[in-house]
Amino acid sequence: MSIRKTTGLVVAIVAALIALFLPSEFYHIDGLTVIHQRVIAIFVLGAFLWVSEAIPIWATSVMVIVLMLLSISNSAFAPFRYGIPAEELISYKHIMSTFADPTIMLFLGGFVLAIAAQKCQLDNNLARVLLKPFGTKSQMVLLGFLLITAVFSMFMSNTATAAMMITILAPIIKATQTCRGKGKIALAMSIPIAANVGGIGTPVGTPPNAIALKYLNDPEGLNLGIGFGQWSALMIPFVIVLLLFTWLLLRRLFPFEEKNIIIHIDGKFRKDWHAVVTYVTFGVTVLLWMLDKVTGINANAVALIPVAVFCATGIINRDDLKEIPWSVLWLVAGGFALGVGLEDTGLAKQMIDSIPFGDWNPVVTIIGAGVICLLMSTFISNSATAALLIPILAAIGKGMGETLTPFGGIVVLLSGIALSASLAMSLPISTPPNAIAYSTGIVNQKDMAKVGITVGVVGLALGYALLMTVGKYIL
């Protein structure tokens, strides 16, 4: 382990121990119990480890769940339960159920769908077909890469989408006679920007979206019933506008010297029965996601349809299941577990009662939370940031109550966090798509920062303006 990671681990442990053994009066939270203080200590440990990445961020999530099971559940070590009323302890089943939360199933279905699409080359062939209408003019090819990458990232992993599109771009980059000068930078930068922004468009596009909707739709919590189609109806137009702004920005910063670019993507649509089943299942799943309010089928339930179809038909086998990014699912589960700890122990309510939210300016709270999220997500995982902030802000939003209503309520507060997390893309470490683009050697850190900061700030302003004006009528 490197010195940096070792230092991060030591700092995290020390901070958690301090949080655990501080006098309860220090927190200024009325009615703080031993269990509450253990939750705070686990939260501090998880936060420091997520920020420092002293251990893998998914491992931090798993550790958070295990620590909660052993220290604050009704199945904790006997000494930890001694003298504590049974009603203060959390059900161990509730904690463990975060591994199979409906939102986790939503992502599982999305990942299986993406694997099947790659196996039958549906992704590559769709890219070929969809890019064809954009012709060969350099500026239109750039627009094509932006829009097509965004469409794929709405239903596939942003990382997988970026990797696929970089592969498609590679022959163009190698053909220096057809793509010279700064135009290469524009093409290479279009992929991570579009992958990050495109994920905002649907609930399955990126983990922060699903985390926000988990709290907004929780039947035992806010129970707002925001559907797949509602989210997409608001966010897809936002994605399109921001991508058009990005297109203009890239053209200005990195102009093409050549007028035309020739794209060669080999392959054709397969017609074997495995491929046909994949095409039909892909189309039906997306359609059911978009029409969930019409059909009455929950998006989480729809996500298991491709899992059942592909496993039953052998399109997805045991080896393919190993390709599912389980680390992402475990990471999200850890964030949900922290939310369970805050809610089930009553700590969230105690925090709400102890903070004078009524004195806070609601606009400052909403936008300030988004700015903080944007800054944090620049340096740590977008998913980890959302998992860390959303449970806290869900509690804050409840505490502020009607004061948030004129500005869209708690929906805007939590949706803004999901949006802000995806807009953090100014450094190679900010997101995996950024790292993939940086690895090509075409994009340097200065250019990435220039584009990422500009798109992030403009996207934040546009996004909150949209959420506060139109969002409250759609979501």
Q: CA–CA separation, 86 vs 84, rounded Å?
A: 6
Q: Which of 363, 453, 471 is nearest to 411 (CA)?
A: 471
Angle among Cα 93, 97, 98 to the nearest 5 degrees reads 135
Q: CA–CA separation, 381 vs 403, rounded Å?
A: 31
What is the phi/psi pair of residue 260, to 5°?
Answer: -130, 150
> What is the chain's alpha carbon radius of gyration, rounded to the nearest angstrom?
23
pTM: 0.73
The one-letter code for the residue type at 398 is K
Q: Which of 182, 252, 217, 196 is nearest to 101 (CA)?
A: 217
Centre a 10 Å sphere on the Cβ of residue 462 and count the other Cβ atoms it contains: 16
Q: Tell me the two tokens of residue 113.
A: 């769908």
Q: Tell me the two tokens of residue 357.
A: 């939210």
Q: Check residue 36 and give its pLDDT.
A: 93
What is the full DSSP assignment across 381-434? -HHHHHHHHHHHHHHHHHHHGGGGGGGTHHHHHHHHHHHHHHT--SSTTT-HHH
Q: Tell me the two tokens of residue 263.
A: 């794209």
Contact between 379 and 426 under an 8 Å Cβ cutoff? The reply is: no
What residue ranges do the domains of the chain occupy?
1-96, 102-321
* pLDDT, one tens digit for every residue, the chain (475 residues): 788 889 989 999 999 999 999 998 888 888 889 999 999 999 899 888 887 888 988 898 899 999 999 999 999 999 999 989 988 899 999 999 988 888 788 778 878 887 888 888 776 777 677 777 888 788 898 999 999 999 988 987 787 778 777 767 765 665 544 455 688 899 999 999 999 999 999 998 888 998 899 889 888 778 888 988 899 999 999 999 999 999 999 999 998 877 777 666 666 777 888 889 998 998 888 888 777 667 888 778 888 999 999 999 999 999 998 888 788 788 778 878 888 888 788 887 777 667 665 567 889 889 988 998 898 888 777 887 888 888 888 888 888 878 888 888 899 999 999 999 999 998 776 787 887 788 777 888 889 889 999 999 999 999 999 999 988 788 7
Secondary structure class of 73 (helix, strand, coil): strand
Most distant pair of Cα atoms in the chain: their distance: 77
Q: Check residue 265 and give its pLDDT.
A: 62
Centre a 10 Å sphere on the Cβ of residue 148 and count the other Cβ atoms it contains: 24
β strands within 243-300, DSSP E: none
Mark residue 361 as left, alpha or beta (left: phi above 0; alpha: psi -120 to 50; beta: remaining). beta
Q: CA–CA separation, 124 vs 197, rounded Å?
A: 21
Alpha carbon separation from 40 to 8, 26, 58, 347 (Å, rounded): 18, 12, 20, 9
Q: CA–CA separation, 63 vs 45, rounded Å?
A: 10
CA atoms within 13 A on the CB side of 221: 22
Centre a 10 Å sphere on the Cβ of residue 220 and count the other Cβ atoms it contains: 7
Q: Check residue 63 and give its pLDDT.
A: 94
